[in-house]
Structure 1
């Protein structure tokens, strides 16, 4: 069974980005997270991560549609 909450390093590994990128995404509010414990450790709920990924797929599809690939782009 997968854990409900992930450490930021786990999220970074899942998305194949740096820990600092995930920290910035959390601190900016782009990726919902909670701060727990006396030391204030960040945790991202797996369901929120999946929602974030789905949202990014939609945003990317909209961007691709608004920015069609030109012939020049395809030849590089």
Structure 2
């Protein structure tokens, strides 16, 4: 997938995806003479699953206080 496709899938900017790739957070390959980045769909799905797991762990470790739930 093009980085722009990944950005659309995640609903973030192209530059955010580029930085995720450059930091090694999202696995990608650079191909072609112009060095265009590509992300394999399976790698993107793994990344999304990893983020779900990280978020679930964070939520578990940071429960809402009663004050936070009153805002709903």
In which range does the TM-score fall when normalised by the shorter chain?
over 0.9
Query: Partner of 1:39 in structure 2?
Result: 34
1:64 aligns with 2:59: yes
Query: Partner of 1:25 in structure 2?
Result: 20
TM-score, normalisation: structure 1: 0.91
RMSD value, Cα:
0.6
CA deviation profile, 1:8-40 (whole Å, cap 9, x unmatched) = 000000000000000000000000000000000
**How many residues align structurally?**
71
1:13 aligns with 2:8: yes
1:57, distance to aligned residue in structure 2 (A): 0.5
Give the number of the structure with larger relative contact order, counting CA–CA contacts within 8 Å between residues 6 or more apart.
1
Regions of 4+ moved over 6 Å: none
Gap runs ≥5 in structure 2 = none
Gap runs ≥5 in structure 1 = 1-5
Aligned-partner Cα distance in 2 for 1:20–1:8: 9
